[in-house]
Amino acid sequence: MSFFQFNVIGTVESPYKQKFAIPRQPGLIAEARGKLVLDPPYADDDIVRGIESFSHLWLVFVFHETASKGWSPLVRPPRLGGNTRKGVFATRATFRPNPIGLSVVKLERVYRQQEKLVLELSGIDLLDGTPILDIKPYLPYADALPGAAGGFADSAPETRMAVSFSEQARDFCLAQHAHPELAMLIEKVLKQDPRPSYKKQRDTEQHYGMTLYHFNIKWTVNGEHNHVTEISQLP
C-alpha cells in the first residue's frame, strides 16, 4: 500500500499558541504543562489501563500547522545557525514527506472530564491544537541508549541569555494563581532564544511578542539580555 489513513485519537491543549517560542525539543522546559484530551471512542478507561505506571510517554503527532506547505529534501537546522543544509531525514524538521513527529512527555496524571479522558502532561513542546495519532509508553531500557551518537545535536542547546522582568510583568506573574509557574516558564522559553537565526546576529535592540496560555508577553532583546516589558491577558 502506498497510502494510509489514520484516526486522530485526541488533541493537545498547550500553553504554546504559536510556533514561535516553542522549545525545539521536548523536556527542555519542565514547567510547560498541557493536556492530551481523548475524545470518544478513545475516551475509554480501558484504553489507558496501566498507563500511570509509566513516568513518560511517546506521542505520535501531526505537524498540522505546516502540513500544507509541503516538504523539502534539504533543510536548514536552527541548531546550526540556519546556514548549513542537512537532509530532512537527518533532522527533526517539520517539513517532512509525511508531516508526523515524535515527542516524549512526562505523564503527571490521568482523569476524566465528563465524556472525555484527560492526560495531564509536562515538558511538552507541542503547539496548541496538535492532533495525536498514537500513544506509546517510554521504556528507559530500550529508549535511552548509553553511548548513542547525537550528530550535530549531541547535547542540549545552551545560550548565555539573561532574563529580567519589569515591575508590571513580575507583579502580573505573582497574581496568576492558576499558573504559578508562569514566570519560570517565560524565563526558560526566553533563555532558549526563540528568535530566527538571522536575527541573532543583530546588535540593535529588538522587540518581540508571544502568547503563552491566554497571556500576551512582550519583551526586548539587547545583546544577550531579554527584558520582559509587559504581560497582559488576552480578551
- Domain residues for the domain of 217 are 162-233
Look at residue 157 and tell me if it is in a domain: no
Rg (CA), the chain: 19
Digit-coded pLDDT (tens) for 97-156: 999 999 999 999 999 998 999 999 999 999 999 999 999 999 999 999 888 898 878 777
Nearest of 215, 211, 158 to residue 188 by alpha carbon: 158
Domain boundary among 100, 115, 143: 143
Q: Are residues 52 and 104 in the same domain?
A: yes
Look at residue 153 and tell me if it is in a domain: no
Look at residue 214 and tell me if it is in a domain: yes
Q: Are residues 132 and 193 in the same domain?
A: no
Other CB atoms within a 10 A radius of the CB of residue 43 amount to 19
Domain tally, the chain: 2
Look at residue 115 and tell me if it is in a domain: yes
Look at residue 33 and tell me if it is in a domain: yes
Rounded CA separation 221/36 (Å): 33
Digit-coded pLDDT (tens) for 40-57: 999 999 999 999 999 999
Contact 214, 234 (CB under 8 A): yes
* Res 197 pLDDT > 80: no
Nearest of 20, 16, 43 to residue 185 by alpha carbon: 16
Look at residue 69 and tell me if it is in a domain: yes
pLDDT band for position 21 (50/70/90)? confident
Look at residue 223 and tell me if it is in a domain: yes
Q: Are residues 136 and 168 in the same domain?
A: no
State residue 145's pLDDT score: 87
Rounded CA separation 84/29 (Å): 26
Contact 92, 101 (CB under 8 A): yes
Q: What is the CATH number of the domain that holds 202?
A: 3.30.2310.20
